[in-house]
Every structure is written in structure tokens, then in C-alpha cells.
Amino acid sequence: MFLYLIRHGQSYVNLEEWTDGNKDMGLTPLGQQQAASLAEWVPVHIPRPDALYCSTMKRARETAAPLAAAYGLEPHFDDRVREIGNNQRNHDPFPNDQLPYQYADFWSTERPFAPVSTVVENVEALIHFRARVGTFIEELLTKHEKQSVMVVCHGGVIDMVFDHIFDVGMWRRC
């Protein structure tokens, strides 16, 4: 399988000083320009993929739309390639002053050997995020074994794909 991982264009989330990756905001004007440029460049250099998958988050959908149009593909939207963040399950960020040590512990790169699971109610742990992305990748490998696939997603998802495929583990990236 040929797998092309594409990170969304610049979004309003990128411009904020949030520790939250899941706030569902769209692309900035620069991000929209990046998505348009992607849709012009990629089809010239990469043959039409057999499938195009996309995160259900707005910034990824807005990045995928011009690419899908350029290839004449209908994107498959999948929640498993949504970004992780220090957020509640309803996607509202925890205010930084209410983010006690145990909330951010699993997301920290300053303590690479800290636990990667959490007991904080209503929060997805990093280990669960990796498993979520891993099930998506395993399904792609089965479903598209001898095909090419593009996935428009997020930086954290791309990290987890590499962790899963190369079995390097989160602790080795730090």
C-alpha cells in the first residue's frame, strides 16, 4: 500500500495559545491558500489515489475539499483520525489554570517516562489515542492492501501512525 499522510493547512487553532488540539475551528485565509496550492501541486506529482480519507474536524475537511475535487474523489470521513488534545470529550478545552498535573501528564514531552494513561474522567489518554489511530491504520492495510490511499488529518495522528507502523512507541520519540 502507498499511504500519503497530509496534515491540514493552518487553522485558527494554530494561532491560539491553546493546549487543546480538538477545538473544531476551520482554516485561516493562509490555510485556505495552502489547501488550494495542495490541490494544484499534488495531482501533478502523485497519481490519483484509490481512496481519500479525512478527519471529521473542520480544518481537515476544508483542506481535503479542494484535493477531493481535483482528483474527483469523495472523501471518507472517519472520527478515528481526529486530533488529540488536553480537552474534554465534548471538545471544550480545559482552561490552563484548571489543568492540574494529572490532566496534562500523558501529553507531556518534558517527562518522557511519565505514565501514558490517565484516570481523569472524560479525557482521552494518549495510549487510547494511539490505539484509535492504530485500528484505523490496520483497517486501511486490510481494505487497501495493494492500493494507494491519502489521509488528510492532524500532526498528532501522523505521529501515532509512525508509532504504530514502526512500533517505535511513544517513549522513543521523546
pLDDT at position 122: 64
> pLDDT (tens digit, 9 = 90+) per residue, 77-118?
998 898 876 455 554 545 545 544 444 444 444 544 444 555
Question: Averaging pLDDT over each range in 15-29, 61-75, 152-166, which range is the top one?
Answer: 61-75
pLDDT at position 92: 53
Cα–Cα distance measured from residue 137 to residue 60, given in angstroms and rounded to the nearest whole number: 18
Domain ranges for the chain: 2-172
Q: Domain 2-172 falls in which CATH fold?
A: Rossmann fold (3.40.50)
State the SS3 of 31-42: HHHHHHHHHHHH
Confidence band of 132 (pLDDT split at 50, 70, 90):
confident
Buried b (16+ CB within 10 A) or exposed e, 40-64: eebeeeeeebebbbbbebbbbbbbb
Cα–Cα distance measured from residue 26 to residue 60, given in angstroms and rounded to the nearest whole number: 8
